[in-house]
Every structure is written in C-alpha cells, then in structure tokens.
Structure 1
Amino acid sequence: MSSVSEFQKLFIQLDGSPLSKIHALKDFGNSLFRQHQFDFAGDCYDKACRQLCVNLKDRNYFDLNSTVSLAISLCLNLAACSIKLRAFDGALIICSMVLTFFPNNSKALFRKAVALRNLNRISEACVILKEAQALEPHNKDIIRELNEVCSPRD
C-alpha cells in the first residue's frame, strides 16, 4: 500500500473494532514513514491518537497497559515525523509530554535531545542525552548523538 486512498479503502473494510482501526492507522503510518512520506505518516499517527482518545470510554476494547503502550508509541512516532519534517518545537512538546508521565522513556529522551540539538539548545541536549545513556548505555544511536553533540569542539 502506498497511497492514502488505498488506506481509506482498507480502513472502511476493517471490522468495527476501534482497536483494530487504531492499529491499522499505526501500521499504515509506519509503512508511510519507511517510504519517507512523513506528512502522511504523521497524519496517520495523529488520527490514531485521536481515535484512541475518542474510544477510551468503551472499556470493552482496551486494557490499561496495552492502551498506554500504544499511546506512547503513537506519540513517539509522531515526534519522529516532526523531527523528519524539521518541526522541532512540535517534537519537543510531544516528547516532553511523554516524559511528564514516563520520565525514564529513553526513546522520548533521545528524540527530545535531537529536537533540542536542532533548536541549537546544545547544553540541554547534552543533559538529556546523558540521561538517556544512563538508561541505555549500549544504545548506538544515543552514543552517536552524544559524541556528536557533547564532544568538546576545538
């Protein structure tokens, strides 16, 4: 699937389960992200977040742990799209929101640091990257970013 119209057809054909539609939106967003269609991927993640919020009242479809994990994943995917689209303020807001509730989320810390770096807030980015590295000392992306951002410049 490579177009939004194809997704709309699929979305209509899905069963009535709100959760299946939310997962379909996320999966389609992931596919679009891999194709570098970050605007459309972000739209999918945003729509999935909205659907999740709207449908939370129907507890038959959701359990708390999987709902929270899905919400975090959607938010962080949306932040990744924001970074790719150079909407660093948006990515910073999204990651900060996730970190308000889950301060040890290393992916949120990493993406927040990337946004801060691109906003030229280097010292803040270094602090956040060090927090992320403390949580995931062997994460290659964190180490690479830490070396690029926090290394002393000659």
Structure 2
Amino acid sequence: MPVITEVANEDVPLRPGPKGDCLDEDSAAGKGDIEGPSPIQSPKADGAGDDEDDSSFADMPPLESFEADKASKPKKEKKIVIEDEEPEKEVDEDGWLDVLGSGELKKRVIKPGQGKDSRPQRSNWVVLNLKGTLDNGTVFEEQKDWRIILGDMETVCGLDITLALMEKGEVAEIVIPARLGYGDKGREPDVPPKATLHYHVELLDTYPAKEESELPFQERLSIGDAKRERGNFWYGRGDYSNAAHCYRRALDFLDDMGLNLSESPADLQLLLDTRLKVYNNLTATQMKMEAYEAALKSVDFVLKVQPNNVKALYRKGKILASQGNVSEAVS
C-alpha cells in the first residue's frame, strides 16, 4: 500500500541533535526484538542534566506574549506526501526471482498469470498441477488438480512460500534448497538427503476456504484425517512445530460443532475416534516440545471421553512426573 505521510509546512528551525534523534514508535517505547545502543539523549546545555535542577524562570517572558506570538502567525497547512509502493523484486537476466534474497529459493515465470490481485492468500485453497524432479531429472512427485490449503504445511516449506507469489493461471519453475525442502534426511525412498528440488507448477485456481462448520460431514472428516496424517509425517521427521500445527488444524475440521443429528451413530463415532487420535498425537508432540501444560490439556480431553485409554494414561503420568508431581503421577 502507498505510504501516506503528513509533513508540516512550517518554517521552524530544526533543533540541533545527534543523528538518529527521530525514533520510530517502537524504539521510543523501548520495544523491538533487536538489541541496539543505549537510548539517545538530548544535548545538554550549560551543564543541564545534573542531579540538581538549576533552571531559572527569571528571563522568561510573560505567558501573554506566547499567545500574542501564536495569534500573529498564520496557520500553516499540512501537505500530504504519498510515497510510491515498494517496487516488486527484480528478476535477473535469466528471468529468475530471488524469493528470499539469499540466492537459494528461486522462481521463474514460464507463463504469466492474471495479475497480482489473483495471488492466493494464506489459508486459501489452491489447486495445482505440479511435477517435482531432482538435479538429475528423476521425478519424485507428480500431482494433477492437487488441492491444498496455503500455509497449512501440506507441502514443503519452500513451495508453500513461493505459491503465495504466483498468480492464478501462472506456470512457473521453482528451485528449492534442501533446508526448505526435505532437509538433511531426504524423503525415502525417492528423495536423497540434502537434495535440491525442482518444481514445475501451474496454479489452476485459488479461492477462500469455507468455515469448517459449513462443510459437509464427509468432507470435514476427510480433510481432518488428511491433516492428521500430515502431522504424523512431520512428527516422524522430528519437526514437532509443524506436526503440532497440522494436528491443531485437523481438530478444526474434526470438531462436532455445527453438525446436525442426521449423521449416523457410526459416522459420529468415527469422527470422535479420529479426534481422540489427533489429541493423543498432539499430546505426544507437545511433550517432545516440553510444553507440558498444553500437553496436559490435550491428554485430559482424551481421558474425559475414554478414562481407560492406555496411551493417554501413560502420557499423563509422564507429563505429571516431568512437572515434578511424582505422587500424582504414581497414583
């Protein structure tokens, strides 16, 4: 968006001060994540700033003179300065866009799309045709009319990032470094460790996702279970943060809020059983992350429905022991 700045058109002399005297709002409040130098102090004059207040009011004019001076000066209007938007990142002579500025994650347009306004937003559905190959040309993945939710970790991180820069109808080549792909482990049996990934992607469509409660029962169950499986994938790789994200998203779809009573008892039981699996898996993930309070809430949900669930009882004991509640864990 354009940046709109108000500039006062007043002939007021600038107060001398050290460079950087104007701080942004966060800096002035002492906020921000980056540790910087000590706060800038105003210049001292004639030894001002000592512990004792040596100020004198003897030479100050009466208050009325300030009012007279203020009234005698015409009020100046403010000008509105509209700065241009930050320009799009430039492509190199071969047409490659350096997505992150590190030279690793790159994108090249083969066929332009329908303009920037057609780009997908986070949490939108995107529909893709894609083919993934290794450096030697070996195909390790191919999808047709593949539908995923952007930002839900349903594909590798590098592709998730770059899809947000594609336009509807666009065809592009994307090169993804190992650290944003399948990492040092690879993906057995088709992606070796530390492999660079090459994707040929066509963005067929993108549209906002409906509220989970508005979806038909079977669709909610199918999407929720798919996200559970994706969480298991990340858990198996030791990526517990992504696993927890997928499990939480699975629970969004597997919640029974908004369901009507027309579903069969068997279907409702299947939904509940799948949800309990997700909570059990989320508990294990939170334990790996040492988020014991969150893990305790997750496991208690399972035990509220299934008091004799062996996995849940075992995990609750370990959680309580990790929190120092040994006697409660034993009981």
Structure 1 and Structure 2 fold alike (TM over 0.5): yes
**Is residue 177 of structure 2 the alignment partner of residue 28 of structure 1?**
no
- CA drift at 1:34: 0.2
Could you tell me how far apart the structure 1 residues matched to 2:154 and 2:252 are? 20
Q: Does the residue aligned with 1:65 lie in a helix, a strand or coil? A: helix
Matching residue's letter, 2:311: K
Could you tell me how far apart the structure 2 residues matched to 1:108 and 1:44 are? 20
1:5-154 mapped onto 2 (5 Å cutoff): 6=155, 17-53=219-255, 57=259, 63-127=267-331
Count residues with an aligned counterpart.
Answer: 121
Could you tell me how far apart the structure 1 residues matched to 2:238 and 2:278 are? 17
Could you tell me how far apart the structure 1 residues matched to 2:276 and 2:288 are? 18
Could you tell me how far apart the structure 1 residues matched to 2:304 and 2:319 are? 17
Q: Does the residue aligned with 1:104 lie in a helix, a strand or coil? A: coil
Q: Percent identity?
A: 27
Matching residue's letter, 1:85: M
Structure 1 residues 92 and 55 mapped into 2: Cα distance closer, same or farther (>3 Å)? closer
Structure 1 residues 103 and 54 mapped into 2: Cα distance closer, same or farther (>3 Å)? closer
The runs of 5 or more residues in structure 2 that have no matched partner are 1-140, 142-151, 164-205, 207-215
The runs of 5 or more residues in structure 1 that have no matched partner are 128-154
Select the structure that is richer in helix.
1
- CA drift at 1:122: 0.8
* CA displacement, residues 2-41 of structure 1 (integer Å, 9 cap, x when unaligned): x9261779xx8xxx82222111101010000000011110
Matching residue's letter, 1:98: V
- CA drift at 1:101: 2.1
Q: Does the residue aligned with 2:231 lie in a helix, a strand or coil? A: helix
Q: Does the residue aligned with 1:103 lie in a helix, a strand or coil? A: coil
Instruction: Tell me if the contact between 1:117 and 1:125 (Cα under 8 Å) persists in the aligned partners.
Output: yes
Select the structure that is richer in strand.
2
Could you tell me how far apart the structure 1 residues matched to 2:249 and 2:297 are? 18
Instruction: Tell me if the contact between 1:18 and 1:55 (Cα under 8 Å) persists in the aligned partners.
Output: no
Q: Does the residue aligned with 2:308 lie in a helix, a strand or coil? A: coil
**Alignment-derived partner of residue 136 in structure 1:** none
Could you tell me how far apart the structure 2 residues matched to 1:104 and 1:124 are? 17
Could you tell me how far apart the structure 2 residues matched to 1:56 and 1:81 are? 28
Matching residue's letter, 1:95: V
Could you tell me how far apart the structure 1 residues matched to 2:324 and 2:275 are? 29
Could you tell me how far apart the structure 2 residues matched to 1:97 and 1:6 are? 29
Report 1 or 2 for greater relative contact order, CA contacts < 8 Å, sequence distance ≥ 6: 1
* CA displacement, residues 57-106 of structure 1 (integer Å, 9 cap, x when unaligned): 16559712211110110111111111000001111111122212211111
Could you tell me how far apart the structure 2 residues matched to 1:22 and 1:47 are? 7
Instruction: Tell me if the contact between 2:153 and 2:246 (Cα under 8 Å) persists in the aligned partners.
Output: no
Matching residue's letter, 2:153: V
Could you tell me how far apart the structure 2 residues matched to 1:78 and 1:32 are? 12
Could you tell me how far apart the structure 2 residues matched to 1:82 and 1:37 are? 12
Could you tell me how far apart the structure 2 residues matched to 1:28 and 1:21 are? 11
Q: Does the residue aligned with 2:155 lie in a helix, a strand or coil? A: helix
Could you tell me how far apart the structure 2 residues matched to 1:103 and 1:5 are? 33
TM-score under structure 2 normalisation?
A: 0.33
Could you tell me how far apart the structure 1 residues matched to 2:258 and 2:234 are? 26
